[in-house]
Amino acid sequence: MSQDAAGDKARPTVLVVDDNAELRALLMAWLGQLNYRAVEAANGSTAVTVAVREHPDLIFMDLHMPKMDGFAAAKRIRSLANLGSHVPIIAVSADDELGSEARQPTSEVHNVGFTDFIPKPFSPTQLEDILAHYLPQTGRAAADK
């Protein structure tokens, strides 16, 4: 394995799942700047496949997507014995009724297996707060040490 590949595997992996290609690209860029390894999927079905292959440390999951929505994808990922029980899955949605600005997911989101909620649109600071909470001592903080 090359040194670059080994270094890439050492960084925490974040899976970005959204059918909006522009939002995925923006999140991927932000995550890269914060020293995370980012992988992506455009729908829930692909997200399950990528999650099995990549074993992400955290997943940002849009709720409303074609093929398989975020609710079904989160349930499927949670059912995976080697992955599902420990990976934080963060619901991402513009649907204000699913969570609050205090990031408290409603029972609907929580019962499916989401760990947390972040409303769209969100700022880089909100993204960093989520990452710092669920992946402490990684990303930029670890790179700065």
Q: In the prediction, which pLDDT does 84 show?
A: 65
pLDDT in tens, 17-65: 999 999 999 999 999 999 999 999 999 999 999 999 999 999 999 999 9
Amino acid of residue 80:
L
Q: What are the domain boundaries of the chain?
A: 12-134
pLDDT in tens, 66-118: 899 999 999 999 998 777 678 999 999 887 544 444 444 556 676 778 998 88
* Residue of higher predicted confidence among 100 and 13: 13
- Environment class of 18 (CB within 10 Å of its CB; exposed 0-12, middle 13-18, buried 19+): buried
Could you please state the CATH topology (level 3) that the domain comprising 12-134 is classified under.
Rossmann fold (3.40.50)
d(CA 116, CA 114): 6
DSSP at 12:
P
**Quick count: other Cβ atoms within 10 Å of Cβ 116?**
20
